[in-house]
Chain A
Amino acid sequence: MSIAHATAGELLAGLAGGSLTSLAIVEACLARIDAENERIGAFLSVDREGALAQAAEIDRRRAAGGPLGRLAGLPVAVKDNLCAKGQLATCASRMLANFRPPYDAHVIERLRSADAVLLGRTNMDEFAMGSSTENSAVQLTRNPWNTERSPGGSSGGSAAAVASGMVPLALGSDTGGSIRQPAAFCGVVGMKPTYGRVSRYGLVAFASSLDQIGPFANDVAGGALLLEVIAGHDPRDATCVDRPAPEYSRELDEPLAGLKVGVVAEHFSQGLDEGVRSAVEAALEVYRGLGAEVSDVHLPHAKYGVAAYYLVAPSEASSNLARYDGVHYGHRAAEFENMIDMYARTRGEGFGPEVKRRIMLGTYALSAGYYDAYYLKALKVRRLIRNDYDAAFAQVDVIAAPVTPTPAFKIGELIDDPLAMYLSDVYTLGANLAGIPGISVPAGFSRDRLPIGLQLLGPAFSESRLLRAARMFEGATEWRRRRPGN
């Protein structure tokens, strides 16, 4: 069996059956990284020695018949905004270029206790702000399907790593689409769980009421397994819901009988690429063929989503990023006149253009005289957007939608037009505003061979339903089997 592009399930079966060792898997991943990472730029750093040692240790424990975790021996990559004790967590920012967190994020603890092998850290838009990974202060990441194209963002490194077969599983974070959009652009599975399903403890904060950590995988089952490992209560994140996490993998292959799929007319308005439109329409046909009932639902406030989001998210960001002041950790300017000047220069030097833009926008929206007109107004519209989803999910089980208006755009295409870049998040950010889960599954290709994703949205805590619905689609189509370069 070829290890690159094997699914998590295939690798685990090989490990359990004795045809594979964790060491062999990790060596294969490292070989793939050696061959591809210079071209793709998915990883910021690779913990070669640590991963090999961990793999050897797990192989020894397996040989000795000892107890093993759910991911025992499987390599996992993590986005560079997740804290792992003693390892650089730069958020692809000059501000945190030398920052080594003194503790593990909750999800890192969970990966360790599941005996996952922590392979390395992936590139991202600085502080997760962006939709193309071009805002990384460190390096460019390229789309494995076409290196002139963006992998999406902000979790572009994680998506590209999985898509190019460097690692079977990866973690990202999704504040406005930052898992689902790169998953769609790179042709892999990516899921944003319900807000509160996964602890944000140890996730470097961008917009705290929107941020959520989630899985990338090369099939739905891999995503379900990784979510199962990271989901669940953690008292260190007060917004993490105290509600047991189901075993998502267990019922994954059972089709949902009588599934009601909603389609939103507002999603098919102007600006939607024809290839994306026909892929989503074909996906609806697949569901009909599987016995699902497809019907229209409406999200009348969806058209206000981008405007509401780009007030709420920057407002929270401007507040969260106030902590980078050159005092406790991170960059400090070398020269300054006084304390205030030290803050201003430190931040002026440490942050890149998009982060500055969001801080400015948020500071303005929260400032005296504008708070009611911008921030408060956006929060009210946010409720109306949520109410729309509540009404829709009273009629249907899931909503099927595009992930993005177009397949992967070109590197450099939108970088000088921030508003155009923001508008590319139009289909994904509603789920963050409403707090509901969403998943992106491969659903076809454009005429120029770029992957297209299908997005499924469900009500809060419907991850199990979403994963099963996604698995039904995956099982009925061949899209998952296509890999870059073949």
Chain B
Amino acid sequence: MSRTFTRDDVAKVASLARLELSEAELDEHAAQLGRILEYVELLDAVSTDDVEPMAHAVELVNVFRPDEPGESLPRDAALANAPQTDGRYFLVPPILGEV
């Protein structure tokens, strides 16, 4: 999986992550991520055929609980930290272009 990490790669990943990076950051990330990815290639040396991936430390299955309605967060508490709200909803900019 050896490959260099270019500035274009950084820009593409940043766009996937919805993360605006400055010109300087693009360069910095290309260099630093490249070094880190080079380091993790160490893992190529490990034989992992027939090894089950371990996604979790405590491999529990099917934790059930009774399906009982509980208290919900009151609307004003849920909206209290919102950057923009009309008191009833979270407000966001238009998604389908200007209306």
Contact = CB atoms under 8 A, between A and B. Distances in A.
Contact of A356 (B21, B40, B82): B21
Interface string B42-77: 111010100111111110100101000000010001
Contacts of A422: 36
Contacts of B44: 377
Say whether chain A's binding surface is mostly helix, strand, loop, or mixed.
Answer: helix
Contacts of B73: 102-103
B43 A377 contact: yes
Contacts of A367: 13, 16
B36 A363 contact: no
A139 interface: no
A241 B57 CA distance: 11
Given A356-B25, A357-B29, A360-B17, A377 B48 contact: yes
A229 to B, nearest CB: 21
B35 A419 contact: yes
Interface string A439-456: 000000000000000000
Given A327-B92, A460-B58, A310 B36 contact: yes
A2 interface: no
Given A100-B81, A342-B93, A418 B55 contact: no
A326 B84 CA distance: 9
B18 interface: yes
A121 interface: no
A377 B55 CA distance: 11
Interface string A168-197: 000000000000000000000000001110
Interface in B1-22: 1, 9-10, 13-22
Contacts of B37: 361, 364
A473 interface: no
A419 B39 contact: yes
Contact of A195 (B33, B57, B77, B80): B57
Contacts of B58: 194-196, 239, 241, 435, 460
Interface in A67-120: 98-100, 102-103
Nearest to A318: B17
Say whether chain B's binding surface is mostly helix, strand, loop, or mixed.
Answer: loop
A222 interface: no
Given A311-B40, A339-B92, A361 B20 contact: no
B23 to A, nearest CB: 12
Which of B16, B28, B46 lies at the interface centre, i.e. has the most chain A CB atoms within 10 A of its CB?
B46
Interface residues of A, number: 75
Nearest to B98: A338
A318 B28 CA distance: 19
B35 A381 contact: no
A340 B93 CA distance: 10
Contacts, number: 173
A348 B33 contact: no
Nearest to A348: B20
A361 B10 CA distance: 10
A376 interface: yes
A107 B83 CA distance: 28
A332 B57 contact: no
Given A328-B81, A356-B19, A367-B13, A307 B42 contact: yes
Interface in A420-472: 422, 432-436, 460
Which of B13, B17, B58, B93 lies at the interface centre, i.e. has the most chain A CB atoms within 10 A of its CB?
B17
Contacts of B18: 322, 325, 340, 343-344, 347
B92 A418 contact: no
A357 B40 contact: no
Interface stretch (A254-262, A285-293, A382-390): A382-390
Contacts of A303: 42
Contacts of A381: 43, 46, 48, 51
A100 B33 CA distance: 34
Contact of B57 (A310, A376, A434): A434
Given A318-B17, A360-B29, A384 B55 contact: no
28 contacts: A102-B81, A195-B57, A210-B57, A239-B58, A310-B36, A311-B40, A327-B82, A327-B90, A328-B81, A329-B82, A330-B81, A330-B83, A331-B83, A336-B93, A338-B93, A343-B18, A348-B19, A351-B19, A356-B21, A359-B17, A370-B1, A374-B40, A377-B48, A380-B51, A380-B54, A383-B51, A384-B46, A384-B51
Given A306-B39, A370-B1, 4 more contacts: A100-B80, A311-B43, A344-B20, A360-B14
Interface of A: 98-100, 102-103, 194-196, 209-210, 235, 238-239, 241, 301, 303-304, 306-308, 310-311, 318, 322, 325-332, 336, 338-340, 342-345, 347-349, 351, 353, 356-357, 359-361, 363-364, 367, 370, 373-374, 376-384, 386, 418-419, 422, 432-436, 460
